[in-house]
Chains A and B, each alone.
Chain A
Amino acid sequence: MISRISLHTVLPTVFSPRAESDVWGRELELERGKSYLIEADSGTGKSTLLGILYGYRHEYNGRVLFDDADIRAFSSDRWVSLRQQELAILFQELRLFPTLTARENIEVKNQLTGLRNGQWVETMFERLDIADKTDTPVRFLSWGQQQRVAFIRALCQPCAFLLLDEPVSHLDDNNTRTMSDILREDQQQRGYGILSTSVGKRLPYSYDSEFYL
């Protein structure tokens, strides 16, 4: 299991260095078990950063290390294993499958990892106030409802780090709080690190560090 993610002067190839950024072009270390918030303005590369850490963006200079291993050297099999066992993500664009129901979208991930049981999934749907939508194809759900489905899906795998890309951008305050509570309980239970991003509405959480992108 990864215990530390280090960024060494990482800068996307299309970006120019900016003095005010705490991340791009700097040394940064993220530890498992801790929580981090990345505040950003639009277009400053927040999704790019998560894309680099999740292994689907490769256009950058500098080095990213998982513990002491440079992620550029990882094979596709290694990334498959990381995405099944060590990295969980909630994409900004959610990446749900529109033809599947909300429950099936969760199953697609859970079948791969086998982490959660049906009871847990039901409870999550109830707590996030979408229990009546479990058998509805997600294309008929609002963006906020879809965001909650994607959140449950992200929790359906063992991980060392959980990456959350604007997780509450379309949620009301109640659901935002619920999501925070669920996250807190789960992190305490499993001990992973959290890296959350925000362009305005932030996930209310007790962050260990906050960075400006």
Chain B
Amino acid sequence: MRLIWKILREHIRPAQWVGFVLANIVGLSIVLCGLQLYLDISPLLNPGTGFMKPDYLVVTKPVSTLTTLSMDKPVFTEAEIGDIASQPFVEQCGAFTAARYQISGQLKVAKLDVQLTTDLFFESVPEDFVDVASEEWHFSPGETVVPIIIPQDYLNLYNFGFASSANMPAVSESLIRRVRFDLYLYGNGQRERMTGRVVGFSTRLNTILVPESFIRWSNERFAPQESADAPSRLIVRVNNPSDRAITTYFDEHGYHIDQDKLDSSKAGWLLRILVVIVMCIGGLICLLSCYVLILSVFLLLQKNRQSVRDLLLLGYPVRRVALPYQALVTMLVVLSLCVSLAIMAVARSIYVGYLRMLVPDYMLSSALPTVLVAVGLVLLIIFVNLILIHRHVGR
């Protein structure tokens, strides 16, 4: 083998091979980094997790001046709800149910001799859609405490808008959770005093939310004769928020959805497209570098044609003459694989830092799929080269 190598190594130009290795490292690194980045950010873009969490959409009908004047309510008919629920991108569809009686809330602060009273409204959604996990989130007839979830935005509005301009103290979530206030429910000739308590803050539902069981019970009690209104708001869980069919469908039907949530899903979609484009470019560089490799091997074989031919005439089988070149190519490709994996690991350690800044409890995805893809890709390159070298030598 030593002598064969001594014969066949003639005409090897290191610069040529260094060129291939560098090009292949660049190509492979781009592919691997792209793939790993895709795997690492996918959990953040996917439904159910992460900071973009756009898996729930609240759907409404637009309110126009005409609607206001005609007193028409922007509600969904059963057929419309059925149609939305039957869309392939919809996993679950629920309606907001409103309280059909009067409610007023009263907060007394005895020490300051202050009494605040306001009219309220309540809504409920099916329990699956509630994004606040609280042990107090339940209601059974006979209980006097009503758990309430208010939008996070309300608190923000007070703390950062009203309180600072009115010289009032900002309040924390835990403080508000401790406050109990009176609720007066009127309807059906009855009046009842209950106690309200905020048990959570929702980023998903922009309403004053009470348990569904409470709405059912209270509507029967305070508004039994009124038939249930058609819902004016629907909440929809979609399987893939970046699905373009979602916007297309709602636009076509003239429904309104929370645009910011969809914007974030569009950002996710764009990010994926970008990653795929980057990976394609990496793949192309990889492919070109392999082409350079094959050309270099062929050129070398051509330059050493006489030696190759003489070895075959001496009785050396093709596989033994091809072996040194195959070993060389395999070594170079494996070298570029190792360097590319190292580059990917370094790049990953850098961008994971940024991801952790965005999502503090971010869990790293496994790098195994990327490593497997890299090994598969490299095995393919090696396999193609081994075949080509064997054929070329045999010729």
How many Å lie between the Cα of A210 and that of B210 in the bound state?
117
Taking CB atoms, residues of chain A closer than 8 Å to B314 are 83, 95, 108-109, 112
Q: Say yes or no: A157 contacts B315, CB within 8 Å.
A: yes
How many Å lie between the Cα of A76 and that of B320 in the bound state?
14
Taking CB atoms, residues of chain A closer than 8 Å to B313 are 54, 56, 83, 89, 91, 95
> Which of B3, B7, B318 lies in contact with A76, CB distance below 8 A?
B318
Q: Which residue on B lies nearest to A51, using beta carbons?
A: B313
A76-B318, A84-B315, A112-B315 as given contacts; A99 in contact with B310, CB under 8 Å: no
B353 is an interface residue with CB less than 8 A from chain A:
no
Q: Say yes or no: B6 contacts A76, CB within 8 Å.
A: no
Among A109-143, those with CB < 8 Å from B are 109, 111-113
Nearest CB in chain A: distance from B307 CB, A: 6
Q: Is the interface of B mostly helix, strand, loop or mixed?
A: helix
Q: Say yes or no: B316 contacts A95, CB within 8 Å.
A: no
Q: Say yes or no: B316 contacts A112, CB within 8 Å.
A: yes
Q: Say yes or no: A100 contacts B315, CB within 8 Å.
A: no
Nearest CB in chain A: distance from B56 CB, A: 69
Q: Say yes or no: A77 contacts B307, CB within 8 Å.
A: no
How many Å lie between the Cα of A54 and that of B4 in the bound state?
22
Taking CB atoms, residues of chain B closer than 8 Å to A113 are 315
The number of inter-chain residue pairs (CB within 8 angstroms) is 44
B394 is an interface residue with CB less than 8 A from chain A:
yes
A56-B313, A95-B310 as given contacts; A108 in contact with B318, CB under 8 Å: no
Interface string of B184-202 (1 = CB under 8 A from A): 0000000000000000000
> Which of A54, A89, A99 lies in contact with B6, CB distance below 8 A?
A99
Interface string of A144-165 (1 = CB under 8 A from B): 0000000000000100000000
How many Å lie between the Cα of A113 and that of B314 in the bound state?
10
Q: Say yes or no: B317 contacts A99, CB within 8 Å.
A: no
Nearest CB in chain B: distance from A80 CB, A: 5
Q: Say yes or no: A100 contacts B3, CB within 8 Å.
A: yes
Taking CB atoms, residues of chain A closer than 8 Å to B310 are 95, 97
A166 is an interface residue with CB less than 8 A from chain B:
no
Q: Say yes or no: B315 contacts A97, CB within 8 Å.
A: no
Interface string of B351-395 (1 = CB under 8 A from A): 000000000000000000000000000000000000000000010
A residues near B (Cβ < 8 Å) are 54, 56, 76-77, 80, 83-84, 89, 91, 95, 97, 99-100, 104, 107-109, 111-113, 157
B residues near A (Cβ < 8 Å) are 3-4, 6-7, 10, 307, 310-318, 394
Q: A99-B7, A99-B10, A108-B3 are in contact. List 11 more A-B contacts (CB 8 A).
A: A54-B313, A80-B312, A80-B316, A83-B315, A95-B313, A97-B310, A100-B6, A100-B7, A111-B3, A112-B314, A112-B316
